[in-house]
Amino acid sequence: MLNDLGAFFQVAYVTSNFDDGVAAARAILGVAGFFSFENATPLSATKRVALGYQGDTMIEVIEPRPGAMGIYADAFAQARPLAFHHHGYLVDPEILPELDKQLVGSGVNVPVRNVSPAGELNLIYADTRPSLGHYVEIVARTPAILSLFEKVPRG
Sorted by where each starts, the structural domains of the chain and their CATH numbers stand as 2-150 (3.10.180.10)
Could you give the percent of the chain with pLDDT greater than 90?
75
Whether residue 73 has pLDDT greater than 80: yes
For residues 125 and 86, is the Cβ–Cβ distance under 8 A? yes
pLDDT, tens digit, 9 for 90 and up, residues 91-148: 999 999 999 999 999 999 999 998 777 777 899 999 999 999 999 999 999 999 999 9
Interacting residues of 123 by C-beta distance below 8 A, sequence separation 6+: 96, 112, 113, 114, 115, 137, 138, 139, 140
Burial class (CB in 10 A: 0-12, 13-18, 19+), 102: middle
Q: How far apart are CA 111 and CA 113, in angstroms?
A: 7
Whether residue 58 has pLDDT greater than 90: yes
pLDDT, tens digit, 9 for 90 and up, residues 38-51: 987 766 788 999 99
Whether residue 1 has pLDDT greater than 60: no
For residues 61 and 50, is the Cβ–Cβ distance under 8 A? yes
| Averaged pLDDT score across all residues of the chain | 91
pLDDT, tens digit, 9 for 90 and up, residues 98-110: 999 999 999 999 9
Instruction: Round to the nearest angstrom and report the end-to-end CA distance of the chain.
Output: 33
pLDDT, average across residues 13-23:
96
